[in-house]
Structure 1
Amino acid sequence: MPVPVPRTTVTAAAVALLALGLPLLAAPTAVAAPALTARVAQAPAPATVTVTGNGSATGAADIALVNAGVEVTAKTTTAALSAQSKAAGRLLDAVRGQGIAEKDIRTDSVSLSPVYDYQDGASTLKGYQAAQSFTVKVREVAATGALLEAVVKATGNAGRVNSVTFDLEDRSPLQARARKAAHDDAHAKAAQYARLSGHRLGRLVSLAESDTGYFAPAPPVAADEPAGGGAGVPVAPGEIRATSTITAVYELD
């Protein structure tokens, strides 16, 4: 345990030093250390390359969507509806006779409207037009022509074939192939740019799908013309085409 020094002894020592002309030494005090600022070296951001990839895939149609109907005109609403109902019944019988299941037959529209004759600025009521249309899914594409022929024969001048569209029951596999092609295209472009700039292709930073497309051929048939044609009613399904466009960002090592 340190022995305390009397205050008088300290004072006397100070006087002795002053008498000898020696300076007094101040007691050491704590010195604040200068603040240290930590500096973390930041690596430069890696170079990147942004590319657009385009891809497509094609496949054969496995279904046909036939939009067909009937249209009749009569003097009264009752007569028009009656004639339309009979013609529509014949159409449905013909469709079912081709082996089409009930779940694949859908009514799209039913309409009844007046018909006027316009001459010299005046209109005269001629009668009423009744119409009904159906969409029929044909699950055997090769049977589409036979179905059209059957509808034409059953409905006569009242029949209408509005459109025939070929499609796929499930579009997902074809679209997946198009996306893969777009991804491969983007990767190939990025790898080429990496080589051209003296780098190696690094990791994928981001990828965004900007567009997809799906194209199914639809041979046009005028909706205001009676269904015509003869045996066979030739059809050409063509190809179904899916497309995909992506934007990808890669690092360059």
Structure 2
Amino acid sequence: MRILFASLMLATAATPALAQNVVGGPVLPDGTLLDVVATGDITRVPDVATLRAGVVTQAATASEASAQNASQMARVIAALRAAGIAERDIATASIGLSPQYRYGENQPPVITGYQATNTVSVKFRDIAKSGRVLDALVKAGANQIDGPQLSIDKPAAALDEARVNAVRQAQARAQLYAQAAGLRVDRIVSINEQGENRGDQPRPPVLYARAAKADAQTEMLPGETEVSVTIAVRFLLK
């Protein structure tokens, strides 16, 4: 739990101008307004991993580089389908073709060949099996892998739990301020949600790494991710 900011604003019948300056709030006579910003957070184990896998090829001509890339990428896509990855979880991320140059001193650059790239985004809904699929992709011809981004497939319940924690934290802090000021919390005037973190966190590639033995499989480690919601709560103290 984290409290980001708390501030006191007085709004009394004797100072109506101050009460009227509170944006979006009613005029509250004979009371003290307290604004608290609180963040409620919880941790969950991610259940979805998204990676980018692709093929980079080079050849003397653009057509040769493209043809080699298409052939190699077709094997990679076939390996994904054979591993049981659904069509909805495979999407083209990027396709590129660019010349390769040789540079010499006081000489114009000379094209020495062409590089073709094709990358797909792959969503793994079973993280435990993703390492085996990665190994199959490499055997099929994938020579570029980036990621993963680990996330929670259905974060709604986790977000609601974080919201409840945020409200409780705000209430506890309001009680603290009220006691320190010799007042009591009368009621909540307003609650505004300021932002949320659904737990979609990119992770460095070291989260999947091949073991020392040649026949060992790549292992994906999900770890934990944080889900959080930040709210602003206005209390009336008397």
TM exceeding 0.5: yes
SS at match of 1:91: helix
Larger Rg: 1
**Structure 2 counterpart of 1:64, one-letter code:** A
Residue in 2 that maps onto 1:29: none
Q: Deviations over 1:40-94 (max 9, x none)?
A: x999431222222121111111111121100101011111111000110111111
Q: Which moved more, 1:203-212 or 1:181-190?
A: 203-212
Residue in 2 that maps onto 1:145: 131
Residue in 1 that maps onto 2:202: 218
Q: Which runs of 5+ in 2 are unaligned?
A: 1-13, 17-27
Give the 5 Å matches for 1:209-248.
209-221=193-205, 229=210, 231-248=216-233
SS at match of 1:209: strand
Ranges of 4+ aligned residues in structure 1 off by more than 4 Å: 41-44
Are 1:49 and 2:63 matched, yes or no?
no
Give the 5 Å matches for 1:167-186.
167-186=151-170
Equivalent-residue separation in structure 2 for 1:194 and 1:72 (angstroms): 67
Are 1:109 and 2:94 matched, yes or no?
yes
SS at match of 2:63: helix
Q: Give the one of 177, 180, 196 matched to 1:196.
A: 180
**Structure 2 counterpart of 1:138, one-letter code:** F
Cα pair 2:127 2:220 within 8 Å, conserved: no
Shift, 1:217, TM fit: 4.0
Q: Deviations over 1:89-129 (max 9, x none)?
A: 11111111211111111111111111111122431111111
Q: Which moved more, 1:235-244 or 1:44-53?
A: 44-53
Q: Give the one of 42, 65, 81 matched to 2:50.
A: 65
Q: Deviations over 1:199-251 (max 9, x none)?
A: 221111122223323444433349xxxxx945311221111212222221111
Give the 5 Å matches for 1:129-168.
129-155=115-141, 159-168=143-152
Normalized against structure 1, the TM-score is what? 0.75
**Structure 1 counterpart of 2:120, one-letter code:** F
Are 1:252 and 2:220 matched, yes or no?
no
Change (3 A) 1:213 1:146: same
Equivalent-residue separation in structure 1 for 2:234 and 2:148 (angstroms): 42
Aligned residues: 206
Equivalent-residue separation in structure 2 for 1:213 and 1:102 (angstroms): 28
Specify which structure has the higher proportion of strand. Answer: 2
Identity %: 32
Residue in 2 that maps onto 1:79: 64
Q: Which runs of 5+ in 1 are unaligned?
A: 1-40, 223-227
Shift, 1:146, TM fit: 0.6
**Structure 2 counterpart of 1:234, one-letter code:** E
Q: Which moved more, 1:79-88 or 1:237-246?
A: 237-246
Normalized against structure 2, the TM-score is what? 0.79
**Structure 1 counterpart of 2:217, one-letter code:** G
